[in-house]
Amino acid sequence: MPGTTGTGPADIRRRLSDPGGNTELLVTFEELEELLDVTIANYNGTHHSGSPGRSPLEVMRYFLATQCAPLRSLPEHRRRNLFMMQPAYECTVRGNKKGGLRPHVNFFGARYSSMILGQGVNLIGTKILIYFDPQDLRFVQAFLPNGAELGPLQANAPWHRTAHSLRLRREILRLKRVKDLTYGDANDPVAAYLESKRQKSVKTQRRSSHRIAEAVQSLQTPSVENVGSPQAPIPAAPTPPAKPRQLAIGNQAQSK
């Protein structure tokens, strides 16, 4: 944990709090995902006290064989829209026909619209339901109160470029409000935030290291430039199962 002093001078967490240029004890995000995969797999394949003599996988296999209970699974294409299972957020359609302001909704500091909503002048003043992925606010899904789908709405500039979480957007907006961060519609707020943090002191970077890591991860996601497009974002290809390999941390440990 950044900033921790551990339980004493010899605590490994004390070294990890400020490794400097010594990265032998650190792991990458990909390695952490692989370690988590292995940990969960080992748990499911290990016997536990709650099911004497059997692992969770063996218990599941037993019930499937003896009770003919179907194994329920969620189709792959629906797993990408799990945010639709969360409560909807109600927004009012704004716009001004006489003033030339096309219909849109304001959502957490950004304006959202699409070709379909932009042509729905009759919807101005209507409350619609918004479903959103808290890890990627570039797009939201909109529905009318009667359940009719309006389709995806895309954030206007500058929030349409880089995938970012709700937490990161709130932090960026807070810094802009207190005049600690500046950016325009032509700039990427996530990139501006990361650059601002890199110019801060090491102590300040430690306090917000988790958000800095999140910003770096966000910038690695392909950007989107088609503002106002009615098309939904192209879903990422399914991640293939991780292949067993020797982690960097293990190689460095053995070399000693």
Cis peptide before 70 (omega within 30 of 0): no
Is there a contact between 214 and 208 (Cβ–Cβ < 8 Å)?
no
Is there a contact between 109 and 96 (Cβ–Cβ < 8 Å)?
no
Amino acid, single-letter form, for residue 40: I
Distances (CA, A) of 49 to 44, 46, 55, 161, 234: 13, 10, 9, 50, 45
Residue 121 token pair:
């002048």
User: CA torsion 212→216→221→223, rounded to 10°?
Assistant: 80
User: How far is Cα 20 from Cα 161, in angstroms, rounded to an integer?
Assistant: 32
Is there a contact between 88 and 143 (Cβ–Cβ < 8 Å)?
yes
* pTM of structure: 0.58
Question: Other CB atoms closer than 10 Å to residue 192's CB: what's the count?
Answer: 19
pLDDT band at 234 (very low <50, low <70, confident <90, very high): very low
19-73 pLDDT tens trace:
555 556 666 777 888 889 999 999 988 888 777 778 888 888 888 878 766 777 7
The more confidently predicted of residues 237 and 166 is 166
183-207 pLDDT tens trace:
888 888 888 888 887 776 555 545 5
Residue 26 token pair:
């650190």
83-128 pLDDT tens trace:
777 888 899 999 988 888 899 999 999 999 999 999 888 999 999 9
